[in-house]
Amino acid sequence: MLAIDILKWPGVNQAFLFSLLLTTAMSLVVIPFGKRRPVDKKTTWGEAILGSTYVFFTMFLAFGVVPHQFIVHADNELGWRKDKFLNGPFDILKAQANGGNFPFTLSYEA
């Protein structure tokens, strides 16, 4: 028996993990598909449309959904907000405004 329930722990966000794994899988599936295609074979119109749709959806996930899900996860579940300051280990990043030596203030906000 574990001391923590890993499915309720703040580090587990199912939407973020699913979108990240789906994007990774969709990106890696292209490699063996591209290696088995003959070099001199010309691309048909239908293959080009299907390929471009696949790449568009993969890039939409990679550059739209995954970052959005990470920001939601960081703000809501990890508590990385603008009002939480990043001081680092032994307060080496503590801002001068807060009594430290670092020249500017760093926050946890993504």
Answer whether residue 10 shows pLDDT above 70: no
pLDDT of residue 11: 67
Considering only CA atoms, which of 59, 62, 69, 65 is closest in space to residue 110? 69
pLDDT tens for 73-92 read 888 888 888 888 888 888 88
pLDDT tens for 36-54 read 988 899 999 999 999 999 9
**Amino acid identity for residue 96 in this structure:** Q
Answer whether residue 110 shows pLDDT above 60: no
Answer whether residue 3 shows pLDDT above 80: no
Band (1; pLDDT cuts 50, 70, 90): very low
77, 13 contact by CB (below 8 A): yes
Confidence (pTM):
0.74
Considering only CA atoms, which of 67, 66, 64, 59 is closest in space to residue 30? 59
3-state SS, residue 2: coil
How many angstroms separate the CA atoms of 16 and 71, rounded?
A: 9
* Percent of residues, the chain, with pLDDT higher than 70: 89
pLDDT of residue 27: 97
